[in-house]
Amino acid sequence: MRIARFDTAHDDVGPRLGLVSDNSIIDLAAHAPDLPQDLREVLARGSVARERLEVIADRGGPGLPLAQVRLLAPLAPRKCLAVGLNYRDHAEEMGSAFPKHPIVFTKQVTAVQAPFGPVHLPRVSDQLDYEGELVCVIGRRCRHVPRERAAEVIAGYCVGNDFSVRDWQRRTGQFTMGKSFDTHAPFGPWLVTADEIEDPHGLKLATYVNGELRQTSSTDKLIFDSYDLVTHLSQAFTLEPGDLIFTGTPAGVGAASDPPRYLRAGDEVRVEIEGLGAIENRIVPEPSATAFID
Ligand code: MG
């Protein structure tokens, strides 16, 4: 199944979930009003909610044209974890040795953005960069998950872009600030459930800036794959439904060019992953409305 969160300009129902097939979307607010219209809660309900969705998906039926809805971030995560230097080709372009342990950092959950939403060029930096990534979405509460059972706790996968502010990322030994600017964690365009993906570690990934191919790789080049990451992370803390893991980016980031090619206002950045779809974000100057005290 492909589970999206969306709203429309022509009704006032507000954000709700939908099942995507071909070019239409079945509105779950209409077809499953008993289910929470929040994907994190749906995942937390486990197999009962999942089977209900499968019945609706199998039945099919009239949907809204996909072109008439606005896709939103599929869910609001409680954790947004990310991994640095996790592709062999990216480690090589950076002249770095392969890490012995996953380099884990967090993106603040306030950085989450819609799959086609605008991304801010920060007021305080001109070193905005892209990182096309496979995003793994946790489906079950878990701790100390052995690798052979890791697939059981993964609800599915999304396409993500781990936007990075390089000068802020490198200023100190900690990545958090440079990885967490508001709008810098777009993902989507929907959750593709894990059963639809034969092998999550054999998917082609491509990133384009204004139509120019900048990153092309495959998730088979991950140093620590999704299952390794679930095992590693869950040794330290509980993973919960809706937690995101941005699994790392392959070669071809702007910072690795000589001279570096950072993003500018007006640029369009598109990330595609085979079997998952694509997200596309326009870079805009950080609006004045970002300064506020409520
Ligand atoms: Mg990254």
The predicted pLDDT at position 202 comes to 97
Separation CA 289–CA 267 (nearest Å): 21
Q: How far is the CA of 98 from the centre of ligand 1 (A)?
A: 15
Report CA(189)–ligand 1 centroid distance (Å): 18
Mean pLDDT for the chain? 96
Order of all β-strands in the sheet with 119-121 = 119-121, 277-285, 268-273, 204-209, 212-218
pLDDT in tens, 169-183: 999 999 999 999 999
CA of 56 to the centre of ligand 1 (A): 35
pLDDT band at 60 (very low <50, low <70, confident <90, very high): confident
Q: Are 115 and 132 in contact (CB under 8 A)?
A: no
Distance set, CA 130 to CA 61, 207, 250, 267 (Å):
38, 8, 11, 11
Using an 8 Å Cβ cutoff, are 133 and 252 in contact?
no
How many angstroms does the Cα of residue 178 sit away from the middle of ligand 1?
11
pLDDT in tens, 243-292: 999 999 999 999 999 999 999 999 999 999 999 999 999 999 999 999 99
Is the bond preceding residue 189 a cis peptide, omega within 30 degrees?
yes
Strands (E), 85-243: 103-106, 112-113, 119-121, 128-129, 132-138, 154-161, 164-165, 185-193, 204-209, 212-218
Distance 238 CA to ligand 1 centre (A): 22
- Ligand 1 midpoint to CA 260 (Å): 17
CB atoms within 10 A of CB 6: 26
Ligand 1 centre from 16 Cα, in Å?
29
Place of tokens 């008439």: 68
Going from the Cα of 86 to the center of ligand 1, the distance in angstroms, rounded, reads 8
Domains of the chain and any CATH numbers:
2-72 (no CATH), 80-285 (3.90.850.10)
Q: How many A from CA of 42 to the centre of ligand 1?
A: 27
Q: Under a CB-based contact definition with an 8 Å cutoff, are residues 188 and 158 in contact?
A: yes
- Render pLDDT for 234-246 as a digit per residue (tens, 0 to 9): 999 999 999 999 9
Tens of pLDDT, residues 186-217: 999 999 999 999 999 999 999 999 999 999 99
Per-residue model confidence (pLDDT) at position 95: 84
Could you tell me the distance, in angstroms and rounded to a whole number, from the CA of residue 68 to the centre of ligand 1?
Answer: 31
Tell me the two tokens of residue 268: 């369009």
CA of 4 to the centre of ligand 1 (A): 23
Tell me the CA–centroid distance for residue 239 and ligand 1, in Å: 20
Q: Tell me the pLDDT tens digit for each residue of 103-126.
A: 999 999 999 999 999 999 999 999
